[in-house]
Amino acid sequence: MALIAVGSAKGGAGVSTLCLALAAAWQLPDGSRPVLVEADPRGGDVQLNFELGAEPGLVQLAAAARRTDLESRVLRACAYRMPEGATVVTAPTGADRAAASLELLEPLWREAEFDDVTVLADLGRLLPTGAGEQLLYREVLEAADLVLLVSRGSTAALTRTREVATRLPSGRPVAVAVVGTTGYGQAEIAAALEVPCVALLAHDERSAASLRGDREPRRRRGEPAYPFLGGVKEFGDQLAALLPAPAVPAVPERAVARARRAPLVDVIRRAGDWTPVDAGGNE
């Protein structure tokens, strides 16, 4: 149905947390939920956080898409269904293998056929560390139906987010999620960044811990249960209005593999034993 590219000007803005929250809590108008693809060449976190196996995942998606096409059927075959309800194509934690897989996928994004699924591509940081360089991940950004920028609420963070927004491919709608405290209102931020959609999302440790697979801190009396997740559900309705209308019903969820935790010692041992994927798609 649609491809949403999600990123930030700097690391640590909360891109991965927001992507997991959207994948778990956002119900699209047709009743489906988006599929998250960890598409950051620096590697992903879900495999280690939830102690999952290395397969299926991004490496298998890259190999399968090279043989056929980048389409919904292949995407779902390489995804995990997480306990929280999110469907995720996990990336290896090793940067070399993640980057090699994404290099294979890069020329396929523009011709991808996501007829019955909405894809969230977690790109991480969009601005390189070198000053004056162009945005990273041009192919994904060019193919995206919507670009979602995640920012903290400080003046400096919003200024960098504005810089990213001005460099995005023209003709793509842009939404901004400001996570945490800020001294500015929604309308003021939208006008300053010149974007049509801005959400202010309250950060809370209970939501973050749940999405990371960590033990949740004790809830205080009278405190909302998961304010961040609640805000994400409302934000999803705003995002849906910016997306193209779905063409066909979603594939039944039973086609997605169920996530099962692996022993922690095996997960850590595997993390240091991965080898990069070569240009031919072989390990």
Q: Is 203 or 162 the better-scoring residue by pLDDT?
A: 162
pLDDT for the residue numbered 160 = 93
Cα separation, 203 vs 209, in Å, equals 11
**What distance in Å separates the CA atoms of residue 107 and residue 134, rounded to the nearest whole number?**
18
Q: How many whole angstroms separate alpha carbon 93 and alpha carbon 87?
A: 18
% of residues, the chain, pLDDT over 70 = 76
Residue range 199-225: mean pLDDT, rounded = 70
Tens-place pLDDT, residues 253-263:
555 666 666 66
Q: Average the pLDDT over 5-16 and give the result.
A: 89
Q: Where are the domains of the chain?
A: 2-270
The class level of CATH for 2-270 reads: alpha beta
| 179, 150 Cβ separation under 8 angstroms | yes
Q: What CA–CA distance (Å, rounded) separates 91 from 41?
A: 9
DSSP 107: G
Query: In the chain, where does DSSP find H-type helix?
Result: 15-25, 46-49, 58-67, 72-77, 95-105, 138-143, 155-167, 186-193, 205-212, 227-240, 264-271
Q: Residue 283: pLDDT above 80?
A: no
pLDDT at 280: 47
- pLDDT at res. 51: 81
Q: Using 50, 70 and 90 to split pLDDT, how confident is the model at 177?
A: very high
What's the mean pLDDT in 214-236?
A: 72
Taking only Cα atoms into account, the Rg of the chain, rounded to an integer number of angstroms, comes to 18
pLDDT score of 277 more than 50: no
Q: Is pLDDT at 6 greater than 70 in this prediction? A: yes
∠ CA 79-233-105, rounded to 5°: 30
Tell me the pLDDT band of 271, cut-offs 50, 70 and 90: low
User: Counting every residue, how long is the chain?
Assistant: 283
DSSP characters for 202-219?
---HHHHHHHHTPPPPPP
Non-local CB neighbours of 238 within 8 Å, separated by 6+ positions: 175, 197, 199
Residue 170 pLDDT greater than 90, yes or no? no
Q: Which residue has the tokens 């997960």?
A: 267
Distance, in Å, from the CA atom of 66 to the CA atom of 176, rounded to the nearest integer, reads: 33
- Please state, as a whole number, how many other Cβ atoms lie within 10 Å of the Cβ of residue 276: 16
